[in-house]
Structure 1
């Protein structure tokens, strides 16, 4: 039977890590209050580059600097490793089955994070909380946590409640550092994740292509960012932008998230409504 992590356990994990989650001179606040709901977005995980004129919100990897003068979101892969970074995670934080590491079936160079026990969750949150504090210290205003849905790829080794407990502690760490916290993907769990973890906004990939945008907007209202990709458009980007279900803060990018000097680079945004 699936394990159930009681709410008291989630609360305990949050409280246990609260003391180490605050950045000096950045008191907890309503981190979502200043989140822009009509932003022109650029999604720059491939590498940082000067945003196009008119861009007001930029998402960059936690290893990059935020965009100067713009609302900047820090990308953190919190529930599985980045390629080539498995050795950077502490002992006891990565999932194993029968002594063998467990990888994402679609991203075979990314190991899954272990959220299955109290001790594993504590170690994971301590590790990722340091990244969150680094995002705040660099000047980001918000953070998004990727791969919240790893539990769907483990045949029951992990559960929703396991990941929700970690998500709640990470959101608390973000809020303690003065950052808004964003759900990344996992459309079918948006309402449960918002209730369990207290996310402020959502970052969706291809919600217009797959008809999932309302799953986010029903929960987060206008606090939704969408990234569509040029290689999988069921209709034109202009038609997507004209659809009232598509978030205003939607950007079209190439799948590799290339820089402007690359041949495959693509960038377009929906006009304001």
Structure 2
């Protein structure tokens, strides 16, 4: 995280034998074809969370039961069976992946060319910033990750570290580069029928409002930036918000009405407190 941490079912028809030849059943679409579903068809399936939900975010420890409506989980560490179980409980599930940073423990780490690897993320061993200006090199990797999210049944994606332009990455990144990258990620997510959120990067909210279905924010109270999300709330889009310090009572008194707020340990284990 930038601050803390952070089927298609094919129906089969059984026809009784008769003189008339049965109709030809089209072959099931391939994974690639599924990812290239027409924008109109995919848009109808995309989850669009509204303000007022509750959420849980957990990346460490054994997955625990939660009363939250929405659960944000690591896309690699979470199994399809776990997503299916959460769906059976009536919950929506968000797939986390690192879009703006490299992690040296991921299975696809060798797919990143050295030219896109920047400075280490401060406080996060094994992570390095990515040169998001080189989207042509990064997007094939990120699309594969979204394919994995889709195959496991996730409802949405949460691409992390979109705000590298705010720190020393080793590259001359600007907010316009992050916006261009987000547009490409949004298009790829929507082609797969997945909702997508904006993680932190409050500078992008105005121009990104039409690209995302929700936002994920870390510590907007700590950084005095919660009001930046009011345009999203006004547009009827959920803001999933987490704070790592302070009492839950004080937090809940300060956050804007409509926020989905949770108090968490920095390591993002199962512990949670809600407004």
Q: What TM-score results when the alignment is normalised by the length of structure 2?
A: 0.74
Alignment of 1:170-209 (within 5 A): 170-194=185-209, 198-209=211-222
State the SS of the aligned residue for 1:124. helix
| Mapping for residues 214-225 of structure 1, pairs under 5 Å | 214-221=227-234, 222-225=237-240
Question: Is 2:112 aligned against 1:82?
Answer: no
Contact residue 158 and residue 198 of structure 2 kept, 8 A = yes
Structure 2 residues not aligned, in runs of 5+: 1-30
1:194-227 CA distance string (max 9 Å, x none): 36xx112100011133332221232344410101
Structure 1 CA distance, aligned partners of 2:153 and 2:274? Answer: 25
CA shift in 2, pair 1:140/1:93, >3 Å: farther
Residues 246 and 255 from structure 1, CA distance in 2 versus in 1: closer, same or farther, beyond 3 angstroms?
Answer: farther
Number of residue pairs aligned between Structure 1 and Structure 2:
232
The equivalent residue for 2:249 is 238
Counterpart for residue 268 of structure 1: 273
Distance in 1, Cα, partners of 2:43 & 2:87: 22
SS in 2 for 1:112: strand
Give secondary structure in 2 for the equivalent of 1:189: helix
1:105 aligned partner = 122
**Alignment partner for residue 140 of structure 1, among 145, 154, 157?**
154
Q: Does the 8 Å contact 2:232/2:239 carry over to 1?
A: no
Distance 1:162 1:73, change over 3 A: same
Question: In the alignment, which of 179, 184, 192 is matched to residue 164 of structure 1?
Answer: 179
Contact 2:200 2:218 survives alignment (8 Å): yes
CA distance in structure 2 between the aligned counterparts of 1:21 and 1:48, rounded to whole angstroms: 35
SS at match of 2:222: coil
Q: Residues 160 and 250 (structure 1 numbering): CA distance in 2 closer, same or farther, change over 3 Å? A: same
Using the TM superposition, name which of 250-259 and 219-228 deviates more: 219-228
Retained in 2: the 8 A contact 1:202–1:220? no
RMSD: 2.8
Residue 156 (structure 1) shift: 5.2
Structure 2 Cα separation of the partners of residues 161 and 47 of structure 1: 37
1:68 aligns with 2:87: yes
Pair 78,22 (structure 1): closer, same or farther in 2 beyond 3 Å: farther
Equivalent-residue separation in structure 1 for 2:153 and 2:47 (angstroms):
17
1:258 aligns with 2:269: yes
Which 5+ residue runs of structure 1 have no aligned equivalent?
1-18, 260-265
Structure 1 residue ranges (4+ consecutive) displaced by more than 6 angstroms after TM superposition: none
Kindly state the Cα deviation for residue 24 of structure 1 after the two structures are TM-superposed.
7.6
What is residue 7 of structure 2 aligned with on the other side? none
Residues 200, 220 of structure 1: 8 Å contact kept:
no
Q: CA deviation at 1:21?
A: 8.4
Distance 1:217 1:90, change over 3 A: same
Give the TM-score normalised by structure 1. 0.74
> In structure 2, how many angstroms separate the alpha carbons of the residues matched to 1:217 and 1:178?
26
